[in-house]
Structure 1
Amino acid sequence: MGVKRIHELDYIRCIAMFMVVMGHVLLFSLKIEHTALLGIIGICEMPLFFIVSGYLTYKEREESSKETMLRLLKRSRTLLVPLVVWSVVLNILDNNLSFSLSMIYRGGYCFFYALWWCDVLNTFAVYVSKKFKFGMVVDMVLYGLIYVAILLGRIKNVDLGGILPINTIQYYFPFFILGLLIHKYEFVSNVIFNKYSYAVGVFLLIVGWYFSSVESFFIWFVAALGAVVVIWMLCREINSELKVSKMLSIVGRNTLPIYAIHYLFIVTMPSVLRDMINISNGFFFQFVITFVYAALVIFVCLFVDRILSLNPIIRMIFWGESKKRCW
């Protein structure tokens, strides 16, 4: 019997993917760096990805150590292969190919290796928890200690020769673990999602967004937590039988290739258009233009991915996957 698909998770990833592309359109196509729309995108986009990834990482059936390692190896392949390959592709197109780690990181694919490190750290935690039969409280303490180690590494600027994205893990590891705990423990899920959560989430998001100009990790985290709760609960209400829902699901199931490919289609827009929408209170115009452009880019990315995924060898080269993704 197959695992029942949780459609709301696809919708969340779809929303996050649109935010990522829209944010990059604002930054790189329109050259707009300070805007309310970009502020809310920065709050929401990556926390949504990581909380869903953490949720999907937890396996209700207890795995053997061999199964866990095989799953980590497969996960490593599907994250690190696109990281390297698409970084090289992007750098070649930019005529900036070099033989250094900075070549890979410059491509803007921090999502891949940050998520890979979350998987690695979680695999260690799962092994320790299973070995000593930890419960919810001790699990939280264990993940808390791992996060303290991440923060200490951030303070000491430990990056393992450039391969540890300590800056990004600092921000996203808590959401990855929160997603895992929501799936693993019903108590955590009930605390996060209840009849008061929507109102509290909206309040936290608005307050955090309002004070987003203050460069504070705490303010950003609180706002991001509120955004995650609000968007997750909204996605629960979407009817999966609607045609638009099926379109959202297609995007949500293919966020990895979209994330990898979309940089190739983020082109600089005419200065006249940039001047037109880079105005005070231009939130609506910026949203419409970036949303339409993002939708077009995502469609093109899906088309390119379908072509690359036709042949299993090419699919393995670009995505590290042997199995074709279903729509």
Structure 2
Amino acid sequence: MQTRSLRSLVHVARIGSFAKTAEQLNMTLSALSMQIKALESELGVALFDRSVRPPRLTPIGRSIVNEAIPLLHREESLLEICRPTGSLVGRFRIGFVTTAAVRLLPAFVRNAQEKAPLAAFEFETGLSRVLQKKVANGQIDAAVVTDADGLPETLSGRIIREEPFVYAAREDFLGDGLSGLLQRQTFFHFMPDTGIGKLIAAEMAVHDRPRNARTVMLDNLEAIMECVTAGLGFTLLPEPDVQRYRSRAVKTLPSPEHLRRKLVLATVSDGILASRETALADLLGAGGLHD
């Protein structure tokens, strides 16, 4: 039995789509389907119920996936022993917090092609808390997350970037400075249960806004900045995100110096990437980018 087929099976189970899995694995859909059917033939069981769309794992299919995950991890650990210390060789699964992926992922891919030609990477995006759990339980090897509450004890974190926050509003709203915004304007708040949302919520709690002051919760940075550009209110976000989406009509005010978003590379403290954290951080920008 080839572990490549098991790896594809686990990938399909994690993503929930044959088409998306084939795309991420750089395979045709027919080649992936044939690979899974060959595995079913070798095992003598049906791994997927194909009477529904999309096909879903059968009970025995789920059991095989659960058994395959630790087996594949052991295979990776065996290969890890044979790799030169500090180098990145093999296949790695990396997560990026969604709000930072748009800025960090392109540079990571470019650097990986130049500096780690023997490594292959799979990517996913999500919320910091979800990505941390996936690193801790071995679903992904590392993740770039916002460190708002500290990492779990099983994970180690390396700061790769610190980003100051700024208030943003149309220039014609800033005649009375920050106090005018706080007293009279609608505040567009990035979701407070996220990493940067928690930092924003803590800062806004310091200010005494009127009881009837309006706050709108949104989970999309670009949508927030479009609302600010349209003159619907103001916001508080990491400066790089404001600069990326703002128009000429929008100006910024500084936030307190202590209010900074820390983007952290999270890995398992004693995991396969522990000795290669520096090499991985280097792909994110020389191991430490500070704004």
Assess same fold via TM > 0.5: no
Task: Compare relative contact order (CA 8 Å, sep 6+) and give the higher one, 1 or 2.
Answer: 1
Higher relative strand content: 2
Higher relative helix content: 1
> TM-score range, shorter-chain basis?
under 0.3
- TM-score with structure 2 length normalisation? 0.24
- TM-score with structure 1 length normalisation? 0.22
Which of these two proteins has the greater Rg computed from alpha carbons? 2
